[in-house]
Amino acid sequence: MNFIIKLFLNSLAVVIASLLLSSGVHIEGWGNAVLLAAVLVLLNASVKPLLVFFTLPFTLFTLGLFLLVINASIILIADWILGAGFTVDSFWWALAFSIILSILNSFFEKLVVTKQQPQAQRETQRVGDMQVFDKDGNRIA
């Protein structure tokens, strides 16, 4: 269920980013947005780690700014895979699209994901007493 929600939010971010950059990034309908989100998930899981590994010297030399080039390249690969349903006019549009998409996805991630406290901290807050735990989380006192 969590994957479906994240895929929907990623699709929403794709549509918003393409509307913001409508003169250079074109997507046709929600179906293509969902398909693009799925393709981006697959590319980010498979191709991006290889690109990051092989371009590590450039990334270190540019203090991480080369990762923006890798993100734009992933967008262009997705453009090539999807064909007519999703088009990007140039590398610079892909770069702007990837930056806006990253910002929107991080914003949506903050809205959806809530951090859960460890069990020991929840028990301490309920009881109100000071409790001491060892490194494995076992209660000592």
Provide the pLDDT for residue 118. 61
Query: Does 140 reside within a domain?
Result: no
Query: Does 141 reside within a domain?
Result: no
Structural domain boundaries, residue 73: 2-116
Query: Does 72 reside within a domain?
Result: yes
Query: Does 53 reside within a domain?
Result: yes
Query: Does 125 reside within a domain?
Result: no
Enumerate the H helices of 21-54 as residue ranges: 29-54
Query: Does 78 reside within a domain?
Result: yes
pLDDT, tens digit (0-9, with 9 covering 90-100), for 23-81: 889 998 888 888 999 999 899 889 999 999 999 999 999 998 999 999 999 999 999 99
Provide the pLDDT for residue 54. 93
Q: How many domains does the chain have?
A: 1
Provide the pLDDT for residue 126. 53
**Is the pTM here over 0.85, yes or no?**
no
- The pair of structure tokens assigned to 113 is 């994901």
Query: Does 132 reside within a domain?
Result: no
CB 29 within 8 A of CB 6: no
pLDDT, tens digit (0-9, with 9 covering 90-100), for 72-130: 999 999 999 988 889 999 999 999 999 999 999 999 888 876 666 566 555 555 555 66
Q: Which residue has the tokens 């270190």?
A: 60
Cα distance between residue 127 and residue 98, in whole Å: 47
Which among 82, 113, 79 has a CA at the least distance from the CA of 97? 79
Query: Does 112 reside within a domain?
Result: yes
Provide the pLDDT for residue 116. 60
